[in-house]
Amino acid sequence: MNNNYTEFMNRKNEIMKKSVGLDYDKYEQKGIGFDYELMMDDQGYDIEKIRSIQNDNMVGNTPLIELKNITRYARKYARNGKGARIFLKDEAANLSGSFKARRAALAVNQAKQLGYKGVIAATSGNYGAAVAALAAKAGLKCIIVQESFDSKNISQPEILEKARKCEAYGAEVVQLSVGPELFYTFLQLLDETGYFNASLYSPYGIKGIETLGHEIANEVMKKVGKFPEAVIITNAGGGNLTGTARGLKDAGAEDTKIIAASVNLYGLHMASDIDFNKKSFTTGHTGFGIPFATYPDRSDVPRSAARPLRYMDEYIMVNQGSVFFMTEALAQLEGMERGPAGNTSLAAAFSLAQTMDDTDIIVVQETEYTGAGKHIQPQLSFARKNGVEILFGNPLDEIPGKNIILPKDGSYLKHEEISMNDLRKSYLKRHKDTELTTEDYQFLADELRITCQEVKDLL
Distance between CA 173 and CA 175 in Å, rounded?
Answer: 6
Q: 383 exposed, middle or buried (CB, 10 Å; 0-12, 13-18, 19+)?
A: buried
The angle formed by the CA atoms of residues 161, 165 and 166, to the nearest 5 degrees, is 120
pLDDT score recorded for residue 14: 86
Rounded CA gap, 330 and 336, in Å?
6
CA 445 to chain centre: 23
Measure the CA angle with vertex 241, ends 209 and 213; round to 5°: 45
Domain boundaries, the chain: 5-48+104-205, 59-97+209-418, 420-458
CATH code of 59-97+209-418, in short, is 3.40.50.1100
The confidence score (pLDDT) of residue 283 equals 85
8 Å CB contact between 352 and 362: yes
**Sign of the dihedral through C-alpha 435, 440, 441, 445:** negative
Confirm whether 5-48+104-205 and 59-97+209-418 share one CATH topology: yes
**What pLDDT score does 43 carry?**
87
pLDDT one digit per residue (tens) for the chain, 459 residues: 455 778 778 888 788 888 988 889 999 999 999 999 999 999 889 999 999 999 999 999 999 999 999 999 999 999 999 999 999 999 999 999 999 999 999 999 999 999 999 999 998 789 999 999 999 999 999 999 999 999 999 998 999 999 999 999 999 999 999 877 888 899 999 999 999 999 999 999 999 999 999 999 999 999 999 999 999 999 999 999 999 999 999 999 999 999 999 999 999 988 888 999 999 988 899 999 999 999 999 988 889 999 999 999 999 999 999 999 999 999 999 999 999 999 999 999 999 999 999 999 999 999 999 988 888 999 999 999 999 999 999 999 999 999 999 999 999 999 999 999 999 999 999 999 999 999 999 999 999 999 999 999 999
Tell which CATH architecture fits domain 5-48+104-205.
3-Layer(aba) Sandwich (3.40)
What is 322-343 written as a DSSP string? HHHHHHHHHHHHHS----HHHH
